[in-house]
Structure 1
C-alpha cells in the first residue's frame, strides 16, 4: 500500500464521503476524432475490426499506466488500496435492448488485435448463455423475493465493499479498475454515469454520440468529427485534476492511435 495514496485528505475523504451518494465528480469534454475515425476506417478495410470502444478502452489503460496510478485504486477499510492488476469492464450490447459486461484483465498488456478477439469471443459466449460470474450473481440476487433481496444486497455490500472481505468469487475487484460504456451506439449524445454501489472502482467512462460540427482549426472554421466523453469519479480516491489529466491523455492518444497496434 503506497503511503502517498493515503495522505491526510484521502483519509478524511474516505471518512466523510459515502459511496457513491455524495462523493461523485462529474466531467465531460469534446474530443476531435476526425483523423482517428479515418484511421479506424482504414484498419477495418485491412481486416482489423476495431471501434472507438476498443480505442478508448486501451487509451484509458495506457493513461493510467503512464500518468494516473490513482485511477487504479479503491477504498478498503478507510484506506486507499491499489488493484493487483489493471482490469477494464466493458459494457456490450448482447441483443436488442439487452446490455451485458465483459471483464478484461491485464488490459494494459493488450493491443487492438488481442482486445478485438477477446471481446468477440466473450460476446459470443454471452449470447449462447454462458454468462460471466457477475451476470450470474445478478440473476441469483434478482431471484430473491423482496424485501429479503434488500437485506441480501445490504449484507454483500457491507461485507465486500465496506469491509473489504471476499466470499468465493465475490470480491472488491469484481468490476476491475474502471468501466467503459459506449452509449453513443444506443443513440444518446452524452450522459453522466453512476458509480455503481456494488463496484469498487474509481471511475466510469461514458462515450457519447459521434457527430460533425464546425470547429476553429488554425483560425479557420472547418467541419470536424467529435465525440463527447464523460466521466464519473469517486472523490474519495481522486480529484477533478485527475480527470483533467485523463482527458488530456485521450487527446494525446487520439493523435497517435497507431501506438496500440
Structure 2
C-alpha cells in the first residue's frame, strides 16, 4: 500500500464532519490580462498563484474565517497551503503571508517549492514516511494528536518532521490542469483549516452582460468550508473578496508593486 493511502486510512472515518460546499464563477478577462502583462515584462505568473493571492485577500478581509485558536493567540495570518501532485501521491507546501506578497513572488516561490516537493524534499515528506510506517491504530492516534499539537497549539514537532501549523490558513488545489472545470474535495480532520478551494479550468462561456449574451473566459472555483468555523455569511463575504481580486488583480497587489507599476508606465 502506498504511503499516501496508509495515511488516508488513518485520517478518514465515517462521514460525520460538518462541511458545506459552494462554487463561484468569475469573468477571468482581467485575470488573463494581468497574466499576459506579467509575461510581457518577463515575470510569468500562474492562474493558481493568482487564485492564491485572491484567497489570501479573502482571509485578510474576513478574519473570522481563521481557526479560533489563532484568533485567540493574535495570529490570524494569510498562509496558504498548495496541494501538489507527485508521482503516485499527493503532497504540498505552505507559503507564508501570501497577502503581503505580489502574485509574481507567489508564483516564483510556488514553482520553486513545488520542484522540491516533486523531488521528495517537501516539508511533509518526512512526516508522511514516518506515519506510513506505523501500524494503523497507532498511525491514527499519532496523526490526530500531532495535528492538534501542531495546528491548534502551534507547536513544532521535529520528531515527526512537522512544523507548526503545517497547512496554513487555507488550502488550494488546481484541477484545471487536468481539464476539469468543476470538482469538490473533502476536508480531512487533521488539516485544521476553514476552507479548501479547487481551481477549475478557464473556458469560453456565454454570459449575460448589460442584457446581451456575450462569450467571456470564465473561471470556476469551488470551495469546501468547515462549518465549525464558517457559516454562510462568512462564505459569502469571502466569495465577494475573491471575486473582487479576480476582477482587478493589479488594484489589490501590495502597495510597493502598484508603485513600481506606475513608475514603469
Residues in 2 aligned to 1:206 and 1:20: alpha-carbon distance in whole angstroms: 20
Q: SS of the counterpart of 1:153?
A: helix
CA deviation profile, 1:108-134 (whole Å, cap 9, x unmatched): 2111232122112212322333221x2
Q: CA deviation at 1:107?
A: 1.6
Q: CA deviation at 1:218?
A: 0.8
Residue 200 (structure 1) aligns with: 192
Q: CA deviation at 1:74?
A: 4.6
Aligned residues: 236
Q: CA deviation at 1:167?
A: 6.0
Alignment match of 1:90 (pick from 82, 85, 90) = 82
Q: CA deviation at 1:32?
A: 1.1
Alignment match of 2:137 (pick from 146, 150, 166) = 150
Q: SS of the counterpart of 2:236?
A: helix
CA deviation profile, 1:78-123 (whole Å, cap 9, x unmatched): x97664533110123445x654311101222111232122112212
Residue 136 (structure 1) aligns with: 126
Higher helix share: 2
Unaligned runs of 5+ in 1: 1-17
Task: Kindly indicate whether the alpha-carbon contact (under 8 Å) linking 1:194 and 1:232 is maintained by their aligned counterparts in 2.
Answer: yes
**TM-score, structure 2 as length reference:** 0.79
Q: SS of the counterpart of 1:120?
A: helix
Structure 1 102/156 Cα, relative in aligned 2: closer, same or farther at 3 Å? closer
Residue 28 (structure 1) aligns with: 23
Structure 1 255/140 Cα, relative in aligned 2: closer, same or farther at 3 Å? same
Structure 1 74/90 Cα, relative in aligned 2: closer, same or farther at 3 Å? farther
Q: Which moved more, 1:198-207 or 1:118-127?
A: 118-127
Task: Kindly indicate whether the alpha-carbon contact (under 8 Å) linking 1:24 and 1:235 is maintained by their aligned counterparts in 2.
Answer: yes
**TM-score, structure 1 as length reference:** 0.80
When the two chains are superposed, the root-mean-square deviation of aligned CA atoms in Å is 2.7
Q: SS of the counterpart of 1:194?
A: coil
Q: SS of the counterpart of 2:190?
A: coil
Residues in 1 aligned to 2:172 and 2:23: alpha-carbon distance in whole angstroms: 14
Residues in 2 aligned to 1:75 and 1:21: alpha-carbon distance in whole angstroms: 22
Residues in 2 aligned to 1:161 and 1:20: alpha-carbon distance in whole angstroms: 20
Residues in 1 aligned to 2:119 and 2:66: alpha-carbon distance in whole angstroms: 32
Residues in 2 aligned to 1:99 and 1:106: alpha-carbon distance in whole angstroms: 23
Q: CA deviation at 1:53?
A: 0.8
Residue 168 (structure 1) aligns with: 157
